[in-house]
Structure 1
Amino acid sequence: MKNLVIIGGGFAGFWSAMSAVRQARFLRKDSSLKITMISLDEYLSIRPRFYENKFKDMRVPLKKYLDPLGVVLDVAKVIRIDHKKKNIFTLGSNSQEEVLSFDGLILAAGSQLSRPSIPGFEHAFNVDTFGDAVLLANHLKELSDFRFPSAASRTFVVVGASFTGLEVITGLPERLRSFDLPDIQFNFILTDRSFSIAPEYSSEAREIISWQLEKEGIQFFAGEEVDSISPDHILFKSGKCIETRTIIWCGGLKANPLTSMFPIDRDCQGRLKVDQFLRIDGQKTIFAAGDVAQACVDDEGHTSVMSCQHAIPQGKFAGNNAVNALFDCNLIPYSQPRYVTCLDLGSEQALLTSGWGRFPKMTGISAKKLKTEIMSKWIIPEKDVEETVKISVPVILHNEG
């Protein structure tokens, strides 16, 4: 019996498990393989939706899928990986250290909010985890219960003018309108140390984004670096101070620190560089997928980004290849030339872009409907377990046309 361990229950980890089950069946090795997933909790969190106001269907029970397939779910925290002796050390709910051995490993531990050493950072909200999103929602509800009594309570500051920050700030006006307090005027401020909104987007896309910010009355403070944060204000190094009760940090992500357990180069986000089969350098049966992996996606040198767009396909490839590696079968090279983004920009507005230049392809209500479909259907597992297993086959996503 061979042991395949998957660390992480997010998009990459979940689809690694589905693909591993499918491929083991295909090779008729399912009775010779034990698959274990180690996750911090029992849910696949639909993290890209944490900026939303409604929390229904934002967490998918892992056991619903894993139990019928015979995949063991170990709810624990991984504290150390010994890749030479092939041992994983965990802490469970009983705070007792346990050791799990493996023959094959898929590291799919995801990413976490980058938390700078800014005085008072703990006073900022974020949407990194489900718990963080709930804290923000409860905070907004509490302010509404008191009818946003002060200017500071009616002022909302989002730090970070890239993808997540834009979705958070443009979603706030609609969230606050849901409290049905039409007589209250709110102030929305987006800040970034960069001098440009969404610098990773094309100039044409930035024009659309800027237009939507202006339409919603959202101010953009460019070139501002945070000096300190307090419960009732945020201070910038320029000396500018904004009185606010709500500061939401969207300042970027970094890979799970478990990547440091492997003595190889990591990129600026802490991700492990993997080969064309998603193997960690020098390891025949150890793979990485999702936000912990820096993978080449095409022949032009582009590398994956931290998003479910890359995590889901990588999970399918990693699960397939891990099983094949354990049973001495050929591996499938990962490739994903197609790259699109669909950015939510608030009420009845979204922006679909195509290519690494992020050029506009669709806007308005049509793009908004597509965004809703992506968030509610495309990235969610099928309700039927066996149907979910069937669609875990690795597929290369080519550019349209």
Structure 2
Amino acid sequence: MANLLILGAGYGGIAAAKALEKAGQPFTLINKHEYHYFTTLLHEPAGGRNKFEEYSVPLRDVLRQPTSEIVKARVTELKPQGNTIVTDRGELAYDYLVIALGNAPEYFGIPGMQEHALVLRSLDTARQLHEHIEKTFAAWQEDHDDTRLCIVVGGAGLTGIELCGELADWMPELAAQYALPLEKIQLINLEAAPTILPMLEEDLRAEALRVLESKGVQLRTGTAIVKVNRNQVELKTRETIDAQTIIWTGGVRANPLIEQAGFEVDPKGRAKVNEFCQSVDFANVFVIGDSAWFTGADGKPLPPTGQAAEQMGDAVAQNITAQLQSYPMRPFRYNNLGTLASLGAEVGVGSVKGVRTKGVSAALMKEGSKAKYLWHLGGLRMISQKRGQFKRKG
């Protein structure tokens, strides 16, 4: 029986594992946590919408077959030439490998960004961000230092914009909780590109801009950060902004282990794959999600999105099963279902299967997409377990 390893339990890894389990194929899933968390929703608990535990599920609640082995370990090295991987719990051999190691922040060489900025890329970092803001705001009563009440978010892609929407909803609650002057709280979004949410149509971007500005968010496009100091950002315009909360959402790159292992990679460190999501360097290695350099039908690399990772995970599971049964593999075809951006708990903007939506209807569609994902993970059982999820507290 083939020895199959899956590295990572994000959207791609968990999709591959679910599909392999359905096909009756044994595997070992290596993940640094014993749970799967909802990466694309981390802005919600970070901004106080709900409790953090609502945004993860134990892996054993998703993968329930006894032939599915789960190992809690951190991958520290890939050795594709010898068909092994190294973890903090030892070395493991494989016949087939699925790399779904997710991403790392892309700092673009901006001095001080990595040292001084918070990021939003895991449950742990979301919790750190949330607790930092609470602690910083609470301390304002001690010294009335207004830089404590200034939050700078770098990046106006999906993560940055959704985080701003959530934080904007949270600010009045914090002001009331800590007796803060609401008018002194500043939430500033800085984007080097000329527009926010570049994946959406112009009218939807304009609506997102209008909604966020109505909530008090200061959106500044065409404004590049060139340096980050402790509690200060320096801009290309030669301005400086003093803030005790600086958050970076400006980009991601692949896990550095991939490039270190000798895979052919693109400028973002993603391993080049063929039409089957198979490494061009090692035929028994499949790479998916943010780890993969897959060129779509338009000639461009697929974006690092949850839906792309899920679809790749399903496709790779089918192709590995086909190989094991001596059937031909099928090329992966990405089906872009669209993008929904929440602008807080009650409103959003987006386009789904070509249908544009905004306001409350977009927010409802976002909620529907969450329920659909829970169904995919565990059917009615999972939805029932999480039935109180995603409702703003209070």
Give distance in 2, aligned partners of 1:352 and 1:232: 34
Whether the 8 Å CA contact 2:6–2:28 is kept in 1: the answer is yes
Distance change (3 Å), C-alpha of 1:117 and 1:374 = same
State the Cα distance separating 1:180 from its structure 2 match: 5.5
In the alignment, structure 1 residue 145 sits paired with structure 2 residue 106? no
Moved more, 69-78 or 3-12: 69-78
Deviates more, 1:183-192 or 1:153-162: 183-192
User: How far apart, in 2, do the equivalents of 1:37 and 1:63 lie?
Assistant: 11
Letter in 2 for 1:368: A
Match of 2:350 in 1: 352
Question: Given the superposition, is the C-alpha separation of residues 322 and 262 from structure 1 closer, same or farther in structure 2, using an over 3 Å criterion?
Answer: farther
Matches within 5 A, 1:5-24: 5-23=5-23
C-alpha separation in 1, matches of 2:355 and 2:82: 50
C-alpha distance in structure 2 between counterparts of 1:61 and 1:387, whole Å: 11
The question of 1:77 aligning with 2:74 is answered yes
CA distance 1:286–1:46, change in 2 (3 Å)? same
Question: Which residue matches 2:219?
Answer: 220
Q: 1:368 aligns with which of 354, 363, 369?
A: 363
Q: Helix, strand or coil: the match of 2:76?
A: strand
Q: Which moved more, 1:379-388 or 1:191-200?
A: 379-388
User: Once the 2 structures are TM-superposed, how far is the Cα of residue 360 of structure 1 from its aligned partner?
Assistant: 6.9
Aligned to 1:392: none
How far does residue 238 in structure 1 lie from its aligned partner after superposition? Answer: 2.6
CA positional deviation for 1:135: 0.7
The partner residue of 1:177 within 155, 167, 172 is 172
Task: Work out the CA distance in 1 between the residues paired with 2:355 and 2:206.
Answer: 10
Matched AA of 2:203: E
Q: Give 1:338 shift.
A: 3.1
Higher helix share: 2
Aligned to 1:243: 242
Structure 1 runs not aligned, ≥5 long = 93-97, 389-401
* Residue identity opposite 2:4 in structure 1: L
Aligned match for 1:86, one of 83, 86, 90: 83
Q: Which residue of 2 aligns with 1:95?
A: none
Which residue among 34, 55, 58 is the counterpart of 1:61?
58
**Residues 285 and 325, structure 1, Cα contact 8 Å, conserved in 2:** no
* Residue pairs, 1:120-139, within 5 angstroms: 121-139=114-132
TM-score by length of 2: 0.86
Identity of aligned residues (%): 24
Instruction: Give 3-state SS (helix, strand or coil) of 1:13's partner.
Output: helix
CA distance in 1 between counterparts of 2:288 and 2:374 reads 16
1: CA distance between counterparts of 2:148 and 2:381? 49
2:37 corresponds to 1:45: yes
The C-alpha deviation readout for 1:319-348, integer Å capped at 9, x for no partner, is: 221222233222222112333000111252
Partner of 1:118: 111
Partner in structure 2 of residue 280 of structure 1: 279
**Post-superposition CA distance 1:44-98 (Å, at most 9, x none):** 1111111112224211111333353422222222222222321112212xxxxx2
Q: Using the alignment, how far apart are the partners of 2:127 and 2:92 within structure 1? A: 33
Tell me, what secondary structure is at the counterpart of 2:71? strand
Cα pair distance change 1:278/1:201, threshold 3 Å: same
Listed one character per residue, the Cα deviations across residues 101-158 of structure 1 (whole Å, up to 9, x for unaligned) are 1111111111121234522642221211111100111112223434563321222111
Output the amino acid matched with 2:99.
Answer: L
Q: Please give the alpha-carbon distance, in whole angstroms, between the structure 2 residues aligned to 1:21 and 1:132.
A: 31
2:196 equivalent in structure 1: 197
8 Å Cα contact 1:162-1:199 kept in structure 2: yes
Read off the aligned partner of 1:322 and give its amino acid letter: I
For 1:195 and 1:203, locate their aligned partners in 2 and report how far apart those are by CA, in whole Å: 12
Q: Could you say what secondary structure the match of 1:152 adopts?
A: helix
Shift of 1:315: 0.8
Q: Does 1:256 align with 2:255?
A: yes
Q: 1:263 to 1:178 in 2, by over 3 A?
A: same
Whole-angstrom CA distance in 1 between matches of 2:113 and 2:78: 33
Kindly report the root-mean-square deviation, in angstroms, between the aligned alpha carbons of the 2 structures: 2.6
3-state SS, counterpart of residue 63 of structure 2: helix
Paired amino acid for 2:28: T
The one of 309, 312, 316 equivalent to 1:311 is: 309
SS of equivalent to 1:223: coil
In structure 2, relative to structure 1, the CA distance for the partners of 1:72 and 1:205 (3 Å cut) is: same
The amino acid that maps onto 1:91 is: D
1:164-212 CA-partner distances (Å, limit 9, x unpaired): 1111112211112233518522212111222332334332222112212
The DSSP-based 3-state class of the residue aligned with 1:367 is: helix
1:104 aligns with 2:96: yes
1:379: Cα distance to partner? Answer: 5.5
Task: Give CA deviations for 1:275-325 in whole Å, capped at 9, x if unaligned.
Answer: 22211115332211111113344x443542111111111111112212222
